[in-house]
Amino acid sequence: MAKKLKWGILATGGIAGTFAKDLAYADNGECYAVGSRNLEHAKQFADEHGASIAYGSYQELVEDPNVDVIYVATPHPYHKENVLTCLRAGKAVLCEKPFTVNTAELAELIEFAREKQLFLMEAMWTRFLPAIKKVREWLEEGKIGEVQLVKADFGFRAPWEPEWRLLNPKLGGGALLDAGIYPISFASMIFGANPEKIMSTVEIGETGVDERFSLLLKYQNGKTASLNGAIRLSLTNEATIHGPKGFIRIPSFLNAKEAHLHLDNEEVESFVDDRESVGYKFEAEEVGRLLENGRLESDAISLNQSLEIMKLMDRVREQWGLTFSFE
């Protein structure tokens, strides 16, 4: 690009800081402005991440004519409202995962963005990592044959802080939306998000959120995905893809720096990414390329794909009888 995209960061939490820090590695974007409900927080964030301007409200941020695109990094119950604020101001938007809390909210955002011809994308950063791109190349080349089984886990042991976002039902807490979306999105990247059958178990904790779950998704021709997520239990955070000719193993798949192709009677082929950045820069660069080319969606994670994944998670929560008071 002739000039770098000027990113606006909406919110100043941990994920916003990680994204802003990674923008320093992006070829086509820079951290330009930040908006917070607290001006002091915005100023501290701007000083730390080299943003030129700090705003004490989200509205001021979206009204800045120099901001090209906005990264929405608030907790997911606020995504719908915050994204709409950006879109109404005519801004391109990258929204942190999960896109929204449920299908109805996301469908409203997609309809508005398409009506106004505005760029909108879910920040499923895993799909843009070089290691995951290599995995998709191996699959497209038929290296392991037609995929039969996908296994993926993501879980960690969060501290016991009942009012904290992850454990608070008023803030959309729970394992499915926060951690589980990674293995679900990963399996959906390979099989699609419309399994014939969903089997699941869940552990609902003291605060009323799902602390741990297991899913078995059955697709056509006997293909299956075995997925686990947790916020109070550490898991391997590994993904494996199995076919008749071999399998692919991806350690720490959600922020993958390596992938290994295991074929029968052959030496293991490995891909290693020695990047210095966390990896959010790749989705930021993708947004820049798409905007430069006049595109409104990404093929790697289209709005329809995000919507189908949200529908799948709604079906899972329906099995559990789990809803949030604000829905």
Enzyme catalytic residues: 97
DSSP, collapsed to helix, strand or coil, labels residue 272 as strand
- Pairing between β-strand 258-263 and β-strand 92-96 as defined by DSSP bridges: unpaired
Q: Write down the H helix ranges in the chain.
A: 14-23, 39-49, 58-62, 79-88, 103-116, 130-140, 175, 181-191, 281-292, 303-320
**Which residues have a Cβ under 8 Å from the Cβ of 254 and sit 6 or more positions away?**
126, 154, 182, 186, 237
Of 305, 307, 251, 256, residue with least CA distance to 279: 256
Rounded Cα distance between 51 and 72, Å, is 16
DSSP, collapsed to helix, strand or coil, labels residue 227 as strand
**Which residues have a Cβ under 8 Å from the Cβ of 178 and sit 6 or more positions away?**
76, 98, 166, 231
| DSSP calls for 132-177 | HHHHHHHHHTTTT-S--EEEEEEE-B----TTSGGG-GGGT-SHII
Instruction: Classify burial at 211, counting beta carbons within 10 Å of its beta carbon; exposed 0-12, middle 13-18, buried 19 or more.
Output: buried
**What dihedral angle (degrees, nearest 10) is formed by the CA atoms of 241, 244, 247, 248?**
-60
- Pairing between β-strand 29-35 and β-strand 239-243 as defined by DSSP bridges: unpaired
